[in-house]
Amino acid sequence: MCGDFMNLIRSEIVIGKENVNKIKNASVLIVGLGGVGGSALEMIVRSGVENIIIIDYDKFEESNINRQIICLNDNIGEYKTSEAFKRIKKINDGCKIKVYNNKIDEFFLKDNHLKVDYVIDACDDIKAKILLIKYAISNNIKIISCLGTGNKLDPSKLKISNIWKTSYDPLAKKLRQCLRKENINYKLPVVYSDEKPLVKGQKSVGSLPMVPNAAGIFTASFVINDIINNL
């Protein structure tokens, strides 16, 4: 069933109708709709969130099929946001969705007031991550960021921690450096893997589906549990 009739009875058994309603009424922004972001979006929608903003400027390529849940053979060359919109509506036609085919920069955040309860940062752009963190802090929005999932194979090595307690993650190292330069001491919740990268020194980053998709589930789980316990 779709729309207001999306069947969440199995969710109610676990968390109760009151918490299901809390999830329905929450609002979530997802930035980046690749391997991590696509999986996070899938879990957020299937958990019952009905107020969603999605942001990505990219189009699907053939090399995305091996790990990105929204990417299919028949949507290569299409915008990730438009395909994500279609997928959300097929799961729950009652979702209210805002779509932005944009990069995150100072001008975009200044011109668009993104009023949400949570931000899932699933992009791989350090500058965009810093801007999202600063935006979330200044607007009292909860945020979780996903770090590097490339060149790794074991999803059991994924953890939720804060940015200052990560290891074996080059993206985390760069992000910490940037946060120090900005004098930001915020204990940013992050999903990261402490698995040592299997490949180094390659221009392109390799990836299989297990780790990025599991990381997306971790980010969604953090948000859903926080809605239940704290919103």
What predicted TM-score, i.e. pTM, was given to this entire model?
A: 0.95
Contact present, 37 and 128 (Cβ < 8 Å): no
Residues 160-200 pLDDT 10s:
999 999 988 989 999 999 999 999 999 999 999 999 989 88
Residues 159-171 pLDDT 10s:
999 999 998 898 9
pLDDT at 95: 97
Q: How many CB atoms lie within 10 A of CB 36?
A: 32
| Domain extent at residue 134 | 3-230
Q: What is the CATH number of the domain that holds 102?
A: 3.40.50.720
Band (62; pLDDT cuts 50, 70, 90): very high
Q: How many domains does the chain have?
A: 1
